[in-house]
Amino acid sequence: MYWNRPQLVPPSAGGGATNIPPPPQNELVANRQNNTAGLWNGGNITLATNSLANPTATWRSPVFDLRPDLPFLSQGTREATPIYRSKTGDWGSLWVVVDGLNQNFGGAYGFAGLTVKYQERVSPIDPTIVKNVNDPIDITGEFAVDTSLPVAKQQQGALLQFKPTSDVDPVRYWQIVLYFDWTYTFTVPIQLRVQSAYY
């Protein structure tokens, strides 16, 4: 038999610990019925590359806690960003916009020679030990710009939507990583902008 509250073992079961006060309740658990849908705002950041020749860059979301209703102690040594299920029961999505694709960076556009891949990282128990659960998946097609169009009508950015692994009942800790790789030599550093939010 398993007791959720071992300090409250009934005297008939050999327990004599009825005088021990219960542990403090996690506020997230106590108020989970009143929590609104999760929202994380990642703002608008500049994604700087590491060099001019064949540059690379990486963008990482925070580690999201998709089950903040579970007891706090199972979160390990570090907290994650809590996301609550909406009243409709949906776990929401991570939305990412990467723009600057049609900007000229010293004679070449931001999409020149660009390959973009994403990877999911998860842990069921601890946000400090999220692990890759898939090989990087190529999403370069989302970043293609039709240069035959007038500049005012060209695609300026890519809109990406990510849903947690096993969205119906997601793993507790979840993170997305985007990898940007250019096979090109630029004369000006590439600086794409990344807007992100989870809701």
Residue 181 resides in a domain = yes
Range of the domain at 68: 36-198
Q: What is the mean pLDDT of each run of 10 residues along the chain (199 residues)?
A: 41 53 56 60 92 95 88 62 76 92 87 95 91 97 91 92 79 95 93 94
pLDDT of residue 6: 42
Q: Which residue has the tokens 């891949």?
A: 117
pLDDT of residue 2: 34
Handedness of CA 128, 133, 135, 140 (dihedral sign): negative
pLDDT of residue 1: 33
Residue 19 resides in a domain = no
Host H or E run for residue 28: helix 27-30
Residue 113 resides in a domain = yes
Domains in the chain, number: 1
pLDDT of residue 3: 37
Residue 30 resides in a domain = no
pLDDT of residue 35: 52
Residue 60 resides in a domain = yes
pLDDT of residue 23: 59
Closest-CA residue to 186 (of 127, 106, 69, 121): 106
